[in-house]
Amino acid sequence: MRVLLTTNEYPPYVYGGAGVHVEYLSRELAKLTQVEVRSFHDQTVDDGQLHVRGVKMDTTHFAGCPQSFVSPLKALSTCLAFVGQGIGDLEGAAEIIHCHTWYAHFSGILAKILYNIPMVITVHSLEPLRPWKRDQLGHGYDLSRWIEKTALETADAIIAVSRSTRDDILRLFDVEPTRVVVIPNGIDTEEYQDIKAPEAIAALGVDPNRPYVLFVGRMTRQKGLYYLLQAIPHLDPKLQIVLCAGDADTLAMQREMEDMVQELKTHRDGIVWIPKMVSRQTTIALYSHAAIFCCPSIYEPFGIINLEAMACGIPVVGSAVGGINEVVVDGETGFLVDPHLSMEAPHDPIAPAQFEHGLADAINRLAADPELRHRMGQAGRERVERHYSWRSIAQQTYDLYRRLQPNRS
């Protein structure tokens, strides 16, 4: 079988969990079948049965439209280029197209219509559950929602990365339940494991001899960094707080977060602000030396960063939302804190101060008990080894492809 994966992100251009997912999934799938990946950048890779071809679009012809429209229009143009190049680079036409995130979904719609091949979509997040994106995209958000809805309701199969995501898909879209399966994200436990690299974290301004709580994620409302910042005054003063914060949704949000951090620094020491995504090996070093990992997201379909931390033997304090509930076992591999989300605005806590104090209390409880941290860290490592192998995830995905090809033996 020849499989075509389409994606916005692919190494070295990865900024979120979807890009990590496609990277590892494509490697493992290529051990089973021919795989081509088409991405939004300028890669060219040929490694055995894995072939990567990037398409980097010139956006100068969008100069006449509002800046907020450029991202969705670029996505549509890139998808047109994916399909316009044909889908026969693998010594024969692709027999399945598998799309990741709304950016790539239009390529699946076109390929399904023009080439009459099954379309598979992995849902890493859902546009209706990220209403704050309107601040970033304006009416471009309406376009991204339309693309996602059309693709999901047209797809031959939909992969949800968690049970809660499957529930959201069935609630929000007109799709048959039999077409939606759950296949989680995974982790490479040989790559993500406890390492000792004090010089790597010291180079970032972190004291390797002082315990710290770690945040890794983008500066977005979704990732809940705002609530963690609000919790900092309530944290044990002996703790360092290491904030590895990547791209912001908007410049205004970035400035707001930076101003909050600067204000916090005037009241306590040990706050380390890293406003960029660092290399994978450096991230593993940050996980490994941390006392606690905090994932305060208010929307998280899965939360692959929690697997990364757990694989490195670190207990997690996470929000009790979405896929985090399925990854982190409360009281065993960490603590879950209910953000008390509003029914009217499902990603706004009803009582934000209560959520912030809950995060602080859970972090402080772990900070005060090294034995508990060690026990939970070990349990987390054992859990990811047992349940989240990329080999198993690739096999489940390949088996799904085969079910969509009924004439294959």
Per residue of the chain (409 residues), what is the pLDDT tens digit?
Answer: 899 999 999 999 988 889 999 999 999 999 999 999 999 998 899 999 999 999 998 888 888 899 889 989 999 999 999 999 888 655 568 899 999 999 999 999 999 999 999 999 999 999 998 888 888 888 999 999 999 999 999 999 999 999 999 999 999 999 999 999 999 999 999 999 999 999 999 999 999 999 999 999 988 888 999 999 999 999 999 999 999 998 887 888 889 999 999 999 999 999 999 998 899 999 999 999 999 999 999 988 888 999 999 999 999 999 999 899 999 999 999 999 999 887 666 677 888 899 999 999 999 999 999 999 999 999 999 999 999 989 999 999 999 999 998 665 4
The model carries a pTM of 0.85
Query: Across the beta sheet with 34-39, what order do the strands follow?
Result: 44-47, 50-54, 34-39, 2-7, 96-100, 119-123, 157-160, 180-182
Burial class (CB in 10 A: 0-12, 13-18, 19+), 176: exposed
Per-residue model confidence (pLDDT) at position 130: 87
CA distance to 7, 44, 166, 255, 331, per residue, from 53 (Å) = 11, 5, 31, 36, 45
Alpha-carbon distance of 88 to 92, in angstroms, equals 5
Residue 54, strand partner residues: 39
Per-residue model confidence (pLDDT) at position 133: 84
The topology (CATH level 3) of 198-387 is Rossmann fold (3.40.50)
b vs e for 33-50, b when ≥16 Cβ sit within 10 Å of the residue's Cβ? bbbbbbbbbebeeeeebb
Find out whether 76 and 40 touch, Cβ atoms under 8 Å: no
Fold match, 2-186+389-403 / 198-387: yes
- Report which of 218, 208, 319, 315 is spatially closest to residue 272, judged by C-alpha positions: 208
Per-residue model confidence (pLDDT) at position 344: 62
Residue 60's SS3 state is helix
Per-residue model confidence (pLDDT) at position 406: 66
Copy the structure tokens of residue 48: 């055995």
Residue 294, strand partner residues: 317
Residue 348's SS3 state is coil
Class of domain 2-186+389-403 (CATH, top level): alpha beta
Per-residue model confidence (pLDDT) at position 54: 93
Residue 341's SS3 state is strand
Task: Write down the domain spans for the chain.
Answer: 2-186+389-403, 198-387
